[in-house]
Amino acid sequence: MTPKNKEKNKEEEKLLINISTNLRNTRNATKMSQEELAELADISVDTISNIERRKFLPSLLTLVKLCNALNVTPNDILRDTLYNKDNTRKNTDYK
């Protein structure tokens, strides 16, 4: 694996961790079960479980469905992924 690929994998892992953590925390804050969220978002419970367990990243469509069901914006789920703690944009390259 080249150094560039290692760096890309680290960034993807950070993205996966942040999205899964933010999704679970947001869902728990609404006291919604995975089953309830799945029904509202019209996606499978397995998909939600796999995202929350960091098995894979959601597609854009799935992310939008989840956000709509949770009544949050994609920025709420992507926070800490795109911005530093002081709200400045992170210098990331996901190419």
Query: Which domains are present in the chain?
Result: 3-78 (1.10.260.40)
Q: Is 88 exposed, middle or buried (0-12, 13-18, 19+ CB in 10 A)?
A: exposed
Q: Distance between CA 47 and CA 20 in Å, rounded?
A: 12
Q: What is the pLDDT of residue 83?
A: 52
User: pLDDT tens for residues 17-52?
Assistant: 999 999 999 999 999 999 999 999 999 999 999 999
What end-to-end distance do the CA atoms of the chain give, in Å?
16
**Residue 75 — very low, low, confident or very high, per pLDDT cuts 50/70/90?**
very high
- Taking the whole predicted model, whether its pTM rises above 0.85 is answered as no
Sign of the Cα pseudo-torsion (55, 61, 64, 65, in order):
negative
